[in-house]
A and B are shown apart, each in its own frame.
Chain A
């Protein structure tokens, strides 16, 4: 089987400082990959390099495109990459306000990607937006309200709806539950798990919260100082960590 995403030798430096170094892995269709590690370990840098938000100093990010098969998204043209960014790819930011238009209604936020790919029927766009609000458990009566009137958890769910409405095949998530109350986190995780399963999504989830990957990720990569120190099936890595740093990470969670 062709990997949906094949990452090879991704390195990103900030001056002399290493953001992430020599990261390689394959992601297969329908798989969820978790990336864990302490703050500053290079998770976001790696994710942004893969999603086309940062240009890595070295490496390839090969995506199995619908029309042309595997393509290196780093060397493809910017219009092609941005097109991927609003069709087959989705990006869920930690802070909903980085991923939403706060001055635009919930319906407009969800409808934007549809309009960006050429949908021109107001009624259809609105129906799809309303349907998606329902799928992320936001009441349809809120379709014309701005996200500024939403709670943090609702904003995050709206951001997810806005990203998934065009049926992307790969979702990048950076600490999607970060900054939310524990009970709100649990509900969001449940929702994400349902969506990933129902839509057969492939996803890469960055988090420092091992409970998140325990619930969502099939496989795990543990990062430290910009490098992957251990990778494997989620349960294996969490229950029987091999690398000393992974052991520390897992045990520090158990202490919580």
Chain B
């Protein structure tokens, strides 16, 4: 049987990743290069997030993994199991009990508290990539704060759709300095990025970048005066728990085209139901 070091990665690699994390925390929103390691899972499975989690986990941590808000998808289960096996840490699905939460595509609805760490899996860390493919040029644009191009992207959106149609990975400006891609979370979650009590760490495995938001960082979503940013969501209540303040997934419930809206954050929805809240579609 193979002997793993705690949390799979060797101590030297974890130190290297921690240095990148600390640098990221010191320069909020700045993409720090790091030497990404091979992980025993495909890139699409969030190897950047996994490496960051491996570097911050301690034996006394309680670990939670969500994928699109759910704890029970294949991706979430396999990452949770991976750290159960390699680090022996306790796991949970309860947002408030977790000390480290790895996520893809969502920020939990329940406000995070001090002492928690939220680790994002990031596919493409460079927000300028869409219009400027040259890495040497995007690096220069960041260092000189030349961000006009970000607004060109939003301009194109409005000219094509009549409104800013970007609904995921909506670009933000951090502490009035770096423009950052918050990973493909819905723009509804952008409102939670700023002034958060928890530490937020972003890991991109294939692209070998780590960036971070320390607690209580100012984060502003880019927009135009006459097309202001809106943290929109489906205009419904959760069919299961009746919540009016959570991000909803639309489900097809029968072959007659019946639909229902449910919280994408399963822990949030279940906790509300357990507390007696009931939506119109609840049994």
Chain A contact residues, CB within 8 Å of chain B = 78-79, 82, 86, 101, 103-105, 107-108, 111-113, 115-117, 120-123, 125-126, 143-144
Q: Identify which of B55-63, B93-101, B219-227 touches chain A.
A: B219-227
Which one of A79, A86, A111, A113 lies within 8 Å of B155 (CB-CB)? A111
- Given the interface pairs A111-B155, A115-B152, the reply to whether A82 lies near B144 with Cβ below 8 Å is yes
Which one of B146, B151, B224 lies within 8 Å of A82 (CB-CB)? B146
B152-177 Cβ-contact flags toward A at 8 Å (1 or 0) = 10011011100000000000000000
B-side interface size class:
10 to 19
Tell me which residues across on chain B come within 8 A of A144, comparing CB atoms: 159-160
Tell me which residues across on chain A come within 8 A of B155, comparing CB atoms: 107-108, 111, 115, 122, 125-126
Alpha-carbon distance A113/B146, docked complex (angstroms): 11
Alpha-carbon distance A63/B133, docked complex (angstroms): 32
Interface: B131 (CB within 8 A)? yes
Tell me which residues across on chain A come within 8 A of B159, comparing CB atoms: 105, 107-108, 126, 143-144
Q: Are A116 and B146 in contact, CB atoms less than 8 angstroms apart?
A: yes
A-B contact pairs, 13 of them (CB 8 A): A101-B131, A104-B131, A107-B159, A108-B152, A112-B152, A115-B152, A117-B148, A120-B224, A120-B225, A122-B225, A122-B226, A122-B227, A123-B226
Alpha-carbon distance A115/B156, docked complex (angstroms): 12
Alpha-carbon distance A120/B158, docked complex (angstroms): 13
Which one of B131, B146, B224 lies within 8 Å of A122 (CB-CB)? B224
Tell me which residues across on chain B come within 8 A of A108, comparing CB atoms: 152, 155-156, 159
Q: How far is the CB of A235 from chain B (nearest CB, A)?
A: 41
Interface: B282 (CB within 8 A)? no
Interface: B149 (CB within 8 A)? yes
Alpha-carbon distance A122/B146, docked complex (angstroms): 19
Which residue of the partner chain A has the closest CB to B145?
Answer: A79
Q: Are B227 and A112 in contact, CB atoms less than 8 angstroms apart?
A: no
Alpha-carbon distance A148/B14, docked complex (angstroms): 48
Which residue of the partner chain A has the closest CB to B148?
Answer: A116
Alpha-carbon distance A104/B132, docked complex (angstroms): 11
Q: Are B160 and A111 in contact, CB atoms less than 8 angstroms apart?
A: no
Chain B contact residues, CB within 8 Å of chain A = 131, 144, 146, 148-149, 151-152, 155-156, 158-160, 223-227
Q: How far is the CB of B226 from chain A (nearest CB, A)?
A: 5
Alpha-carbon distance A59/B29, docked complex (angstroms): 39
Q: How far is the CB of B140 from chain A (nearest CB, A)?
A: 8
Which residue of the partner chain B has the closest CB to A117?
Answer: B148
- Given the interface pairs A101-B131, A105-B159, A107-B159, the reply to whether A112 lies near B224 with Cβ below 8 Å is no
Q: How far is the CB of A84 from chain B (nearest CB, A)?
A: 13
- Given the interface pairs A78-B144, A79-B144, A82-B146, the reply to whether A115 lies near B226 with Cβ below 8 Å is no
Which residue of the partner chain B has the closest CB to A114?
Answer: B148
Alpha-carbon distance A101/B156, docked complex (angstroms): 12
Q: Are A112 and B148 in contact, CB atoms less than 8 angstroms apart?
A: yes
Alpha-carbon distance A116/B144, docked complex (angstroms): 12
Q: How far is the CB of B189 from chain A (nearest CB, A)?
A: 23
Alpha-carbon distance A82/B158, docked complex (angstroms): 28
Tell me which residues across on chain B come within 8 A of A78, comparing CB atoms: 144
Q: How far is the CB of B109 from chain A (nearest CB, A)?
A: 31
Alpha-carbon distance A3/B101, docked complex (angstroms): 62
Q: Are B156 and A105 in contact, CB atoms less than 8 angstroms apart?
A: yes
